[in-house]
Amino acid sequence: MLARPGNAGLHRVVIVGCGFGGLAAARALGRAGAQVTVVDRTNHHLFQPLLYQVATAGLAAPAIAAPIRHILRRFRSVTVLMAEVIGIEPAARRVILDGGDVLEYDYLVLAAGSTHGYFGHDEWAHAAPGLKTLDDAIDIRNRVLLAYEHAEREPDAVRRIPCLTFVVVGGGPTGVELAGTLAEIARHTLREEFRRFDSRAARVILLEGGDRVLPGFPRDLSEKARAQLQRLGVEVRTNALAKHIDEHGVDLGGERIDARTVLWAAGVAASPLAQALGVSLDRAGRVRVEPDLSVPGRPEIFVIGDLAAVTDGDRQVPGVAQAAKQMGHRAAKNILRRARGEPTRPFRYRDYATLATIGRDSAVAVVGRLKLSGLVAWLFWVFLHIFFLIGFRNRIVVMFDWGWAYVTFQRYARIAMTGRSERSRVKAAPPSARTT
Amino acid sequence: MLARPGNAGLHRVVIVGCGFGGLAAARALGRAGAQVTVVDRTNHHLFQPLLYQVATAGLAAPAIAAPIRHILRRFRSVTVLMAEVIGIEPAARRVILDGGDVLEYDYLVLAAGSTHGYFGHDEWAHAAPGLKTLDDAIDIRNRVLLAYEHAEREPDAVRRIPCLTFVVVGGGPTGVELAGTLAEIARHTLREEFRRFDSRAARVILLEGGDRVLPGFPRDLSEKARAQLQRLGVEVRTNALAKHIDEHGVDLGGERIDARTVLWAAGVAASPLAQALGVSLDRAGRVRVEPDLSVPGRPEIFVIGDLAAVTDGDRQVPGVAQAAKQMGHRAAKNILRRARGEPTRPFRYRDYATLATIGRDSAVAVVGRLKLSGLVAWLFWVFLHIFFLIGFRNRIVVMFDWGWAYVTFQRYARIAMTGRSERSRVKAAPPSARTT
């Protein structure tokens, strides 16, 4: 118990952000009975590894999210607030919320995560949306579905090409997942549903600036991933840097790809909240934390997850769910230790497995010294992702959805939700082409 | 076959709107091999009777919708276009789409349905949204979820009251369903999830202008519905007319109800497309059609569903799904008859059952001469709604979701999707109240 007799008072912990890191910290502190306030700008914890499936119409949004206050309801000392943090005052130990609310803290866990970064080209954001939130996923889903709808209304075969060209920028795990799934949609899901074109004619192009996809993986697995992508129908272009992106396509410098749909999976940027701490940040905007995850000179502030630049030994800890979870757990333990007057312990990263899925029966994985690819890696990926989903109910729903999709090649959530605004981009088709 | 030898050419049928009526017509004409173009402004057919469940976070949006082109994919002579109809030119037999596309037709089936009507008070729409589309449902879901989130941030108990007051205007089936479910959310779903208040303190008020709820039902069933609503915790106010609605509540003339959340279920208005036909409309803006559902003086135009004012004998055919379906079928048959040079047949409405659900174990139903209420009516309602859902897969999903919700009292889809914009309404709470 943090609030035990002998303490000067109740120790108040504020956790900003309830992704994998923040949730792990909240659970560990809640279990210990600490006075915790969790602040998140959404009402839900999001299982981000499956977000691309919402974006590609395979899952409904609620299947990969759970209300934060429902997850934490049993911890009576934990309060959940849906709010945006607009400032942090480390000297005064205060967090400022939108609307002006102030939360005072004895310990702060900053787990605000990252967003997509456009390498200084924020003007590309409108033309090439990234994938971080459920709203992003629904936006991307709409764009993909409406591109096909637009193509069906376009009588001119040449002008139809950009509608049926999908470019994914960035060959990391998210880019590979998106490209593989988009190819599956074109080849299988939408077959025979259009009258003016064959959906299998759609092109899916994956652009990667480096010399291989999945650069975080061993080189031979990158090659296997490339082969699997190509088998699914994806055009993989490495050493291909986007020089310019607008709503009509991508400029590669010397080459132009006309595409109505461009998706951004190339860069992440740390939450700007890191700057409020007034400490040294790395190039990606992350906080260089002490080995115990606290901020240099601010032992009461812990930074975890994508927002923390942490090395374990000589290896940079990657920005993945399992690392964030482990950091959240370590930060909570260190807060409890400090409250008891004990020394904190350094963070140790345990890398159980690194996986990336590519598409039907296709994935790559590194599990300890084992390298897997193809069906075996894919089954392992499916098993792990269902296992780690929050909520027994979501596990059943996702398992059912996947089983159904596997057998039928259909995608459950092909529902464009905000068609009206998007449809203004649809152009006119001459009457005769349609009706005679 | 409509396009048989001997005809002057292919008969081109355009169907505007793919609700229950339009879909029934498209299927019947597609089965006969007619050249059909279906135009809808969304990409999905919506199972509207369950829309209130999406609005109250019980179902995800894709569970009650299916892509129109997927439903109709087997009919090779049917083309589906996602487009908004912006004009009809009956003399030229042309339909004008957004963007300027023109569809020429030999036969037109107008099935554009209805939207919510505010009895001349369109300025109420922003404060009291109605429920007709999936976007509406997500908007209402956000408002309901965020009202509770707002309450948790409000330290002042008196100012918290409007956050926890939910007013439903209109005591027809939709209003009764919404009110009953909102009461269940307050009493069961959200219990123990908030720290500043008990969700059971929330008030749900159902306002009905007439002297009883469910005016379309026999008087004794209205009384039973009222009793069931009250048992669920709904305050039922009959003879209560809203004089004014704004974002802070409802004015009843002499009495004011302060409420952050007001939902509109009081009126429907026919689609303005009816006016383009240039024929006589009834008070609700619907087209007074001939007995065979064609428009007077325009035997090639058929109007069906909520847009058609039809009497069968001396009874006005109600604006319900089964009536729209039957009209769609009759209109298609009459088009096929006319194309063969045969006389059309008049529409006959077969009222199999009229149902309204109220909440857990609660419903009323009229089946032939039988009147049911309570658990029996509710089970009948559940069975019918699963049976008539489009798509085997959706049936399984909804069955599972309902079974789960029934056992756990939980609601699957408590995910606020557009929190950022809505949250600007959240007001400040003094720091001390939260953290000390």
Q: Is the pLDDT of residue B426 over 70?
A: no
Question: B80, A426: Cβ pair inside 8 Å?
Answer: no
pLDDT of residue A7: 43
Question: Mutate which of B82, B146, B414 to test chain A, going by most A C-beta atoms within 10 A?
Answer: B82
Q: Among A113-122, A258-267, A275-284, A397-406, which is the least confidently predicted range?
A: A397-406
Q: Are A143 and A261 in contact (CB under 8 A)?
A: yes
**A357: DSSP letter:** E
- With beta carbons under 8 A apart, name residues in chain A contacting B424: 98
Q: Does residue B211 or residue A115 have the better pLDDT?
A: B211
pLDDT of B207-228, one tens digit each? 999 999 999 899 999 999 999 9
Q: Are A275 and A282 in contact (CB under 8 A)?
A: no
* Helix, strand, coil abundance in chain A, percent, nearest 5: 40, 25, 40
List C-alpha distances in Å: A54 to A133, A264, A319.
Answer: 10, 16, 21
Give residues with Cβ within 8 angstroms of B95, minimum separation 6.
B14, B16, B39, B85, B87, B88, B89, B102, B103, B105, B108
Question: Mutate which of B35, B195, B197, B396 to test chain A, going by most A C-beta atoms within 10 A?
Answer: B195
E strands, B143-276, where? 165-169, 203-207, 234-237, 244-246, 249-251, 256-258, 261-264, 268-270
Mutual angle of helices B392-408 and B375-388, in 10-degree steps? 150
Question: B419, A42: Cβ pair inside 8 Å?
Answer: yes
- Region A132-138: mean pLDDT is 93
State the pLDDT confidence band at B267, using cuts at 50, 70 and 90: confident
pLDDT of residue B419: 37
Amino acid at A141: R
Q: How far is B55 from chain A (nearest CA, A)?
A: 13
Of A346, A333, A420, residue with least CA distance to A28: A333
Q: Does residue B87 or residue A419 have the better pLDDT?
A: B87
Q: Is the pLDDT of residue B295 over 50?
A: yes
**A317: DSSP letter:** P
List C-alpha distances in Å: A204 to A144, A151, A185, A230, B163.
Answer: 11, 15, 10, 10, 47
Of B181, B185, B218, residue with least CA distance to B362: B181
pLDDT of residue B233: 96
List C-alpha distances in Å: A20 to A29, A210, A384.
Answer: 14, 29, 15
Give me the domains of chain A, ranges plus CATH numbers: 12-41+83-117+268-339 (3.50.50.60), 122-266+353-424 (3.50.50.100)
HSE-CB for A305 with a 13 A CA cutoff: 26
Q: How far apart are CA B386 and CA B392, in angstroms?
A: 9
- Vertex A194: Cα angle to A191 and A198 (nearest 5): 60
pLDDT of residue B7: 43
Q: Is the pLDDT of residue B431 over 50?
A: no
CA terminus-to-terminus distance, chain B: 78
Q: Are B133 and B408 in contact (CB under 8 A)?
A: no
Of B84, B103, B194, the CB nearest to A431: B103
Where do runs of H (alpha helix) occur along B233-346? 321-339
> What count of CB pairs under 8 Å joins A to B?
211
List residues of B with catalytic annotation.
177
Of A61, A145, A146, the CB nearest to B60: A61
- Region B148-164: mean pLDDT is 96
pTM of the predicted model over 0.95: no
pLDDT of residue B203: 98
Q: Is the pLDDT of residue A6 over 50?
A: no
Q: Among A211-220, B67-76, B314-323, which is the least confidently predicted range?
A: B314-323
- Region B136-142: mean pLDDT is 94
pLDDT of residue B10: 63
Share of chain B above pLDDT 70, in %: 92
Q: How far apart are CA B291 and CA A97, in angstroms?
A: 63
Instruction: Tell me whether A158 touches chain B (CB under 8 Å).
Output: no
Share of chain A above pLDDT 70, in %: 92
Instruction: Tell me whether B7 touches chain A (CB under 8 Å).
Output: no
- Region B303-319: mean pLDDT is 91
pLDDT of residue A433: 31
Q: How far is B420 from chain A (nearest CA, A)?
A: 7
pLDDT of residue B412: 67
Q: Is the pLDDT of residue B77 over 60?
A: yes
Q: Are A170 and A208 in contact (CB under 8 A)?
A: yes
State the pLDDT confidence band at B418, using cuts at 50, 70 and 90: low
- Region A293-306: mean pLDDT is 97
Q: How far apart are CA A25 and CA A23, in angstroms?
A: 5
Q: Is the pLDDT of residue B268 over 90?
A: no
State the pLDDT confidence band at A339, using cuts at 50, 70 and 90: very high
Q: Which residues of B214-229 are buried (b: 16+ CB within 10 A; e: fewer)?
A: beebeeebbbbbbebb
Nearest chain B residue (CA) to A154 = B101
Where do runs of H (alpha helix) occur along A340-428? 375-388, 392-408, 419-422
Most confident of A296-310, A312-326, B398-412: A296-310
Q: Is the pLDDT of residue A391 over 80?
A: no
pLDDT of A51-82, one tens digit each? 999 999 988 898 899 999 999 999 999 999 99
- Region B289-293: mean pLDDT is 97
Instruction: Tell me whether A393 touches chain B (CB under 8 Å).
Output: yes
List C-alpha distances in Å: A152 to A183, A205, B79, B100.
Answer: 18, 21, 9, 15
Of B190, B170, B220, residue with least CA distance to B374: B220
Query: What's the mean pLDDT when you consider all of chain B?
Result: 89
List C-alpha distances in Å: A380 to A33, A321, A324, A375, A386.
Answer: 36, 16, 21, 9, 10
Q: Is the pLDDT of residue B205 over 80?
A: yes
Q: Is the pLDDT of residue B56 over 50?
A: yes
Query: What's the mean pLDDT when you consider all of chain A?
Result: 89
Q: Among A42-46, A271-275, B387-391, which is the least confidently predicted range?
A: B387-391
pLDDT of residue A412: 67
pLDDT of residue A366: 92
pLDDT of residue A300: 97
A229 token code pair: 């992508």
Nearest chain A residue (CA) to B149 = A82
**Catalytic-role residue among A84, A123, A154, A177:** A177
Question: A416, B82: Cβ pair inside 8 Å?
Answer: yes
B290 token code pair: 């001939």
Q: Is the pLDDT of residue A42 over 60?
A: yes
Amino acid at A43: N
Q: Is the pLDDT of residue A45 over 90?
A: yes
pLDDT of B6-17, one tens digit each? 343 368 999 999
Of A65, A101, A397, the CB nearest to B415: A65
CA terminus-to-terminus distance, chain A: 78
pLDDT of residue A429: 30
Amino acid at A258: D
Of A79, A249, A272, residue with least CA distance to B435: A79
State the pLDDT confidence band at A392, using cuts at 50, 70 and 90: low
ipTM computed for the complex:
0.89
- With beta carbons under 8 A apart, name residues in chain A contacting B418: 135
pLDDT of A147-195, one tens digit each? 999 999 999 999 999 999 999 999 999 999 999 999 999 999 998 899 9
- Vertex A270: Cα angle to A266 and A273 (nearest 5): 155
E strands, A217-352, where? 234-237, 244-246, 249-251, 256-258, 261-264, 268-270, 287-288, 294-295, 298-303, 308-309, 311-312, 315-316
Q: How far is B411 from chain A (nearest CA, A)?
A: 10
State the pLDDT confidence band at B360, using cuts at 50, 70 and 90: confident
Max CA-CA distance within chain A? 87
**B8: DSSP letter:** S
CA A136 to chain centre: 10
